[in-house]
Structures are given as C-alpha cells and as structure tokens.
Amino acid sequence: MVAPPSRRYDWSGFACTKDYLQSLARTPKLLSRAGYVRHPETQMADKAASGTELTKCLNWFHVMMLGTGMIVGAGVFVSTGVAAQEQAGPAIVISFIVAGISALLSSLCYSEFATQYPLAGGAYNYISLTMGELAAWLIVTTLVLEYVLANAAVARSFSAYFAALIGKEPGFFTFAYLDYTVDFMAAGVIVLCCLLLSFSTAGGSWFNIVVTGSQLLVILIILIAGFVKANPANLSPFLPYGVKGIFNGASFVFFSFIGFDCVSTLAEEVKNPAVDMPVGIVGCITFVGIIYTLMSLCLVMMVPYDQLDPAASFATAFTQVGLPWGQYLVALGATLGIITGVLVGVMGVARIVTSMGRTHLFFPVFGRVSKRFGTPIWATLFVTVAALPLCILTDLPDLIDMVSAGTLLVFGVVALALIWKRTVRPKHPFADNAKPFVLMAVLTGCCIAFACIYALCEGVAFIAGMAVTAGLAILCCIAIHVLCPQYDRPSYRAPFFPYLPGASLLLNSFLMASLPANAYWQLAIFFAVVLVFYVLYSIHAAQNFEETCLAGQKAVDLEDGPAVRGPSLEDLAQPSPSDVAMHSLGPLGGDPAGLRLGRTSGGVTRLPPPTL
C-alpha cells in the first residue's frame, strides 16, 4: 500500500519541501502542460479524489432566482439614469434590449457547457476541456479577481443605501481613518453571507429566494407608481444622440447583466442539470431583461432625460413627480439587491476556487468539501478573507474597468470555446484540425478589428470598416458551418451554431472597445502576476497530484489486480473511432503532461504517463 498523503500535502500539494524543489528543477519540461487539454473523465476523477462531493439540492427555480438575485442589484437604480442622460436619451429602452440580447447569446453558450459538464467551476472547466490548462488558468484567475472585487465594491455600497433607507446621510455608518473611509458594515454583510453559505447551500438558496422575491415586489411597486406619473411626451426626442447613442448606451448598461455566469458554477449542485441549467440561466436573463426594459421606460417617461440626476436617478425622479416616499422604496430595493448580489457572488467564486483546488492548480485545501454540510467551507472562507480588507478600506473605482474587461474577455473566450468543442477533433494533429483553427483565428481577428474601428474611426472609414469586418465575420461563420463537421453533438445544444457563438464573440469584442485603455494595462499586469504563480507553483502541484494518483492506482493494481486492463499508450496515441464519431464527452485534446485515462469496473483509472 502507498502511504496516505500527509497533512502538509493536503494543504500545499507537496509532501515536503524537497518534493517541490525537485519538481521546480523540471520546470522546462513541465511547461508543456500549458497546452494540456483535460479529459472530462479526468475532471470527474479530480472531483472524486477531493473527497466529499457538493450536495445536489438545486432545481431550475433555484438557479433562476440565484441568477436574478445576482444580476438585479443596486446598479440598475443608478446606471439607467447615467446612460439615459449622457449617452442614449429615451432610446435607453432600446439600449437595454440590445444589451439583453448580447447577454442572452452568452448565456446560451454557457448553458450548453453547464449541461454537458455539470461540475463546479463554470468557465474554468469549459476552457480547460477545450483550449488547455494555461488558458483556463488565466481565465479562472480573472474570474476570481472579478468576483472578489465586485463583492467588495457591492458590499461597500450597502451602508450608504441603508443609511438612506432610515433617513440618514450616506456616510452615516462610515468613519475616516488616515486616508481611508472605513466601512465595517460592508464587512458584516460579507461575513454573514459566508456563514450562511458555509452551513447550507440549500439554505442560502432559499434565503436568496425570499430576499430576491422581496426586491422584485419593491420593483413592481416602483413600476406601478412610476407609470402612474408617466408622461409620454417625455419620450421626445427619442434619439437625441443618434443611432450610435443606442450602442454606446448598450455597452454601458450591459454590465448590469453581468452575473448570469455565476450560476453556471453551481452546476454540480443541480439535481437535473440537463434541464435545470439551461432553463435557469436563459430564464434569468430573459426575466431580468424584461425588468430592466420596463424600469428604463418608466424612468424616461417620468422625467425628461436631460433633467435626470445621474447620482440618484430613480430617487430624484420620484421627488420631481411629487412622490418623495418613492426614494425610500428605491433605497430598500437597492439594499435587498446588494444582499443577494454579495450572497450569490460569494457562492459562485467559492465554487471556482474549489475547482482550482481539486486540480491542484491552487492550494488543494481549497478543493475540500465539508462532509457534514456538503459545502466548500475552505473556499468560501478564502473568498471572504480576500474581500474583507478591500470592502472595509477601499472604494475600488480605479479597478472597476479592469473587472469589466476581464468579464467580457471570459464571455468571448467561452463563445470561442464552444466553436472549438464542436469542430476540433480530439487527439488529432494540427493538420487534421487546420480548417477550424484557421477560421476561428480569422473570426477572432475580424471581431477585434470590428471593435477597434468602432472605437477609433469616424465618417466613411467608420461605416466601411464596420461593414467589411462584420461581413468577414459572417463569412467565417458560414465557412465553419459548411466546411467544419461537428464532432461533438450533446443532447442539449446551443441553437444556430456557429452563428450564435460568433455573434456573441463579436458583441463582446465590441463592448470591450468601449472601455478605457488603462483597463487593459491593468489586466495585462494581472496576467503577468498569475503567470508567474502558474510557472512557480501550479504546474508543479498539478503534475505532482497526477503522479501521486498514478502511484496509488499502481499500488491497488499490484494488490488486487486491475478489474479491466486499460488501453496501452500506443493505443491512446491513435485516434479511436469514438474520438472521430459524434460523442458527448467533448474534445479531449493533447496530453503533454502524460496523464492517460482507462476504465475499470471501479471507475476512472489513471494510466502511467510517459517519462518527462
């Protein structure tokens, strides 16, 4: 028998410092892991090796309400007025529809992945199963950064809205210390959400349903009161900023839809992911889109767009039409939205960290699941500790654009990964997959060019450039449809392939062009930092984990004998008929780290890797 891993191994991924230093000496050879595409069964084996699984306790209604609670926060009460006054005018209604369609396209891409691969981790799993380990690492760290910063920023706004709710000044619950504005109430919100989620996912979900339901009731009252005071004459002029203003407004309010990707991380805890995930994800986007459209229409009909207060559009609008009590409804709705936003945000990022810990790309202790509660307690604690100093001391205004850029990048990469999953033949050389690779590269280039032209050009160059790049993107999608067979056709598929993921990639690229340049410099610096961590820790811990599992499997085989002999390395080097056929496991990709999988009667078996 192989001795069980030490407690130090459980925490750090290495039994001793010597093991780490020996692995560090092999860094040049291990860099080949960067292109390692994980097998779906490897993900399942990693989940089993981590110990207790997450409790399956959610259905489509829970998923839909969690998504709604995450998306409908306090931002809509502010962003609507800013976009209407400064960018779109009354056409902000159309802007919300355009933004909602863009979010819907991305949600359909997520739905197919979440249905086919019902694992905690969301986009991290989707990209590691298609584009490789390094791409997945960059994406997953971007997601973790996004949610930690977003949770801190949202929690920090709680005290201001709660103060307004009880008739106090926004800074009533904060105090100055040195150069900081200290907000302990924000910390309290995050800690309470952490405690609730640590003990019960189902309890957290039902709490979200109650709070989100209360918020939706408040929004309904706001809409009724607003439409009673509405004046259709305020809709004229409808396009004061022209057609371009609609798209500028759409790029601004799109960030009000961010959060639906969070519920995809909960797929492992859903009872019937094949049905519940697509219904829940698409349902929450559709429902929220209707709410946002009605709220924006209500606002611009109550008050002329040029008289809106960007800082507190709904609250001021109710005062202007003679309903001063409406500002308390707005404060209540925003307060409830902040609670659900933080709750679901902590829940989602904890599952991402859990997935990282399971594969040992991050410290394996965070991949543990509580045997008693069936929740990722350690990952939840990590997220809470990371967010606490930020929400107590920092307003984070300079990092919000970087968070937005990272989010849109993830959406675009997931759309591209869907095309990759469907059209790239697993375990085949590049020459056999040249068509989809070249077409995906051209499509990506067209989308980037489209976004740059929108941001930088005017006049004839603007019109001609937009038409040419959009036309080329459409031709690329047609070529993918005609020339690239689909080797992966799961039971649930995103419709209108490849046009839907192509449109999603184009729209997300377009939205990224609306962000300032400093967002991309910040994102590049962040990528450099996490790349160093990947080279110095992640590839070593992940490889050590796989070798440890293989050693354990060999010991079992020596004692009991393998139930069924797995395929040899020579067999695995050749594409099997099942690889070429349409199957439900998705692209398996290369295996530079040497991890091979066989089947035994007991489940997944890791077969010996080639010597590095």
Q: 204 versus 76: which is more confidently predicted? A: 204
From start to end of 327-470, where are the E strands? none
Residue 51 predicted with pLDDT over 60: no
Task: Please name the residues in contact with 563: beta carbons below 8 A apart, sequence gap of 6 or more.
Answer: 600, 601, 602
> CB–CB of 330/222 below 8 Å?
yes
Shared domain for 345 and 475, answered yes or no, is no
The span from the CA of 603 to the CA of 36, in Å, is 22
For residue range 101-146, what is the model confidence (pLDDT) as tens digits? 888 998 999 999 988 888 888 888 888 888 888 888 998 898 888 8
Q: What does the mean pLDDT of the chain come to? A: 80
Note down the domain range covering 458: 432-515
- Same-domain status, 374 and 489: no
Q: Does residue 424 fall inside a structural domain?
A: no
Q: What percent of the chain has pLDDT over 70?
A: 84
pLDDT value of residue 602? 35
**DSSP sequence for 519-584:** HHHHHHHHHHHHHHHIIIIIHHHHHHHHHHHHHHHHHHHHHH--SSPPPPHHHHHSPPHHHHS-BS
The residue among 412, 359, 357, 402 whose CA lies nearest residue 382 is 357
Confidence band for 65, pLDDT divided at 50, 70 and 90: very high
pLDDT of residue 599: 33
> Is the model's pLDDT at 579 over the cut of 70?
no
At position 313, the amino acid (one-letter code) is S
**Residue carrying structure tokens 């390692």:** 36
Instruction: Identify whether residues 161 and 261 lie together within a single domain.
Output: yes
Q: Span 356-374, mean pLDDT?
A: 86
Question: Is the pLDDT assigned to residue 591 strictly greater than 70?
Answer: no
| Structure tokens that stand for 439 in this block | 């077409």
pLDDT by residue (tens digit) across 271-303? 888 889 999 999 999 999 999 999 999 999 998
In a domain, 592, yes or no: no
Reported as a single tens digit per residue, the pLDDT across 319-354 is 888 888 888 888 898 889 889 989 998 988 898 998
- Tell me, what's the pLDDT at 598? 36
396 vs 422: CA distance, rounded Å: 39
Q: What is the pLDDT of residue 608?
A: 38
Look up residue 238 and give its DSSP letter: S
- The confidence score (pLDDT) of residue 588 equals 33
CATH code of 73's domain = 1.20.1740.10
pLDDT over 60 (residue 4): no
Query: Given a cut of 70, is residue 458 above it in pLDDT?
Result: yes
Residue with tokens 């609609």: 246
Query: What pLDDT digit, counting tens, does each position of 492-503 carry?
Result: 888 899 999 999
Structural domain includes residue 67 = yes
Q: CA angle at residue 133 from 127 to 135, to 5 degrees?
A: 60
Statement to judge: residues 217 and 311 lie in one domain? yes
Say if residue 154's pLDDT is above 90. no
Residue with tokens 């199963």: 129
Q: Tell me, yes or no, whether 366 and 457 share the same domain.
A: no
Task: Provide the pLDDT for residue 245.
Answer: 86
Given a cut of 80, is residue 463 above it in pLDDT? yes
Instruction: Mark whether 220 and 252 lie in a shared domain.
Output: yes
pLDDT tier for residue 39 given thresholds of 50, 70 and 90: low
Distance CA 510, CA 515 (A): 10
In a domain, 489, yes or no: yes
pLDDT at 612 over 70: no
Write down the pLDDT at residue 414.
Answer: 92
pLDDT tens by residue, 417-437: 999 999 988 777 777 888 999
- Are 346 and 339 in contact by the 8 Å Cβ rule? The answer is no
**Number of domains forming the structure of the chain:** 2
Q: Say what the pLDDT of residue 445 is.
A: 93
pLDDT score recorded for residue 564: 44
pLDDT attached to residue 430: 77
Distance CA 420, CA 433 (A): 10
Give the integer Cα–Cα distance in Å for 16 and 375: 29
Q: Are residues 354 and 436 in the same domain?
A: no
Predicted pLDDT at 528: 94
pLDDT in tens, 378-413: 999 999 998 888 888 776 666 677 878 888 888 999
Q: Judge whether 523 lies within some domain.
A: no
The helix or strand, by DSSP H or E, that contains position 355, with its residue range, turns out to be helix 326-358
Q: Is the pLDDT of residue 584 over 60?
A: no
In a domain? residue 53: yes
> Does some domain include residue 308?
yes
Is the domain of 373 the same as that of 480? no
Among candidates 371, 377, 388, 380, which has minimal Cα distance to 350? Answer: 380
